[in-house]
């Protein structure tokens, strides 16, 4: 596990983007797992800039989003179909026909079909992850089984409250979602996690220095053989062990 800490979120985003671009350079048909949320935005912007500067051929790059709300139309600007298209696909310059988002229509077969699609694509090469305040990754809330596959899940009150900023009120936030499972996520060949802001500090410290437990899904990443964390100073304030005081420039990536 590699931990990269910098006071500058743009530096973190650029460092994370370097890993994605390197993966595409090595494998033009790379499969990238895409996350929504505020923290990954700087990484998408940096990825798009680097790709443009290098004239990188991304015509064969495939993408799979982590999750989607149940009950929102793909055309709804708050749906993750729309968010991924606007925040990632358009910014990075991917072919939208090669990017998939879970079907939020509520059909029971959608979860299994999504896992099959990922396997048929050859699996995820680099999975981008954000981090919830309660330690969730994707929409895998505390208590989700470590070997879970893509599934429908009830969102916690904390997650609904956190996501209310994207809606007119918390009452409008969907209460269920479809998400890649923890087992699905952990099969990615490389995981890159970006967490910024003091609100994430407790979850970062627990995920990196606490016990591995399904009660804090992000702690399960400790067992992955190739995971990189990109954390700003505010999110790193509660680290007390070997990672405290690290900085980006001191670590090879």
Q: Output DSSP code: residue 249.
A: G
Q: Output DSSP code: residue 37.
A: S
42's enclosing H/E stretch is: helix 41-54
Cα separation of 144 and 59, whole Å? 35
Average pLDDT, whole number, for the chain? 93
Residue 141 annotated as catalytic: yes
The class of domain 2-236 in CATH terms is: alpha beta
Q: Write b or e for each residue in 69-100: b if 16 or more Cβ atoms lie within 10 A of its Cβ, otherwise e.
A: bbebeeeeebbbbbbbbebbbebbebeeebbb
Residue 108 — pLDDT band, cuts 50, 70, 90? Answer: confident
Residue written as token pair 């627990």:
206
Q: Which of 14, 68, 115, 141 is catalytic?
A: 141
Residue 86 annotated as catalytic: no
183: nearest Cα among 147, 227, 209, 145:
147
Share of the chain above pLDDT 90, in %: 88
Q: Which of 4, 68, 87, 134 is catalytic?
A: 134
Report pLDDT digits (tens) over 50-90. 999 999 999 999 999 999 999 999 999 999 999 999 999 99
Inter-helix orientation angle 9-26/41-54, to 10°: 50
Residue 253 — pLDDT band, cuts 50, 70, 90? Answer: very low
The pLDDT of residue 104: 92
Residue 67 annotated as catalytic: yes
Domain spans of the chain?
Answer: 2-236
Q: Which of 81, 136, 151, 228 is catalytic?
A: 136
Say if CB 217 and CB 133 are below 8 A apart: no
- 227-232 β-sheet, strand order: 2-6, 227-232, 190-195, 126-129, 31-34, 62-65, 99-100
137: nearest Cα among 186, 93, 104, 175:
186
Report pLDDT digits (tens) over 185-194. 999 999 999 9
Mean pLDDT, residues 16-38? 96
The pLDDT of residue 107: 79
């Amino acid at each position: 596990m590699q931990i990269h800490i910098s006071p500058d979120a743009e530096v973190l985003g650029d460092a994370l983007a370097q890993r994605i671009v390197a993966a595409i350079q090595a494998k033009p048909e790379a499969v990238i797992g895409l996350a929504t949320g505020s923290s990954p935005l700087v990484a998408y912007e940096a990825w798009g800039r680097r790709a443009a500067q290098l004239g990188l051929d991304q015509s064969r790059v495939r993408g799979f989003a982590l999750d989607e709300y149940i009950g929102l139309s793909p055309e709804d600007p708050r749906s993750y179909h729309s968010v991924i298209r606007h925040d990632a696909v358009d910014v990075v310059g991917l072919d939208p026909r090669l990017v998939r988002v879970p079907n939020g229509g509520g059909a029971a077969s959608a979860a299994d079909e999504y896992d099959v699609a990922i396997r048929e694509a050859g699996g995820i090469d680099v999975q981008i992850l954000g981090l919830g305040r309660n330690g969730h990754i994707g929409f895998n809330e505390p208590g989700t089984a470590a070997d879970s596959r893509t599934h429908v899940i009830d969102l916690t009150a904390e997650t609904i409250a956190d996501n209310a900023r994207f809606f007119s009120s918390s009452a409008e936030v969907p209460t269920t979602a479809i998400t890649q499972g923890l087992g699905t996520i952990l099969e990615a060949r490389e995981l890159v996690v970006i967490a910024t802001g003091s609100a994430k500090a407790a979850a970062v410290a627990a995920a990196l220095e606490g016990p591995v437990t399904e009660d804090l899904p992000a702690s399960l990443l400790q067992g992955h053989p190739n995971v990189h964390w990109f954390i700003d100073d505010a999110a790193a304030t509660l680290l007390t062990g070997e990672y405290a005081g690290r900085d980006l420039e001191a670590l090879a990536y």
